[in-house]
Structure 1
Amino acid sequence: MDLENRLFKIAGNLTTFNMELNSLKLTYNQDLKRLDELEDELSGLKNSFGLENSDDAVERAKIIKLKLYESTGLKLDPERREVLVLNKSANKTTVLKVNDNYSDYFISNYIWANI
């Protein structure tokens, strides 16, 4: 009798585990399908913004930064390592030669003082 109870209990546990396994497989397949949908959506968004690859995104970010700087009165010349600062209210232009001796703190303070 004890053996029959144990076999019945094992069969019940096996059925429960089998049902849980099927449920996990179903959830896994649904998650894979959702992942594919999200990747397609991301790809579509990248294409709609013209960002086919990460290099394009970096270049666009640089262009946006340069346009922002120019709108505040700054012109950057990376070849000469200069920043041209235009103060529109005082109608004055100053040039800062950027070298490694200047800290970022000094450069930003200089620019803000002369804008």
Structure 2
Amino acid sequence: MHDLDEAAVFKRLYEPSPRAFFLLFYTTHCSQCKIARARIERVMQNGTFEVDFFTCNLDDAPRVSEHFGIRSVPVCMTYNKKGEQHRVEYALKSEAVYESMVLGVNAQKGDPKSRLLGF
């Protein structure tokens, strides 16, 4: 996972890219954000995805927070490779939810239900 500053977040959102991406917005002292990050890292380790994973510390990126109207963290967003927002999840979620977010924009499509159920 790569941490993006404010300018890099806007660049990624508005400049074309050939890859889908996953964004985790967090704050420094948020314990649920740390748990979310650990869950997302496990998802990354358990699969091969054609998705870029990014984080952004909202303590250092107030314009990003304003742009999206974020009032609580953690917040996760996925964007497809066309740069269109696919899904947004607020608050701490299960590992399965994060995995389904990634699978929803992953270029290598599989059956997300079978993956989540483990067969």
Higher percent of residues as helix: 1
Of structures 1 and 2, the one scoring higher in RCO (CA 8 A, sep 6+) is 2
Q: Which has the larger radius of gyration?
A: 1
Q: TM-score, normalised by structure 2?
A: 0.30
Q: TM-score, normalised by structure 1?
A: 0.31
Higher percent of residues as strand: 2
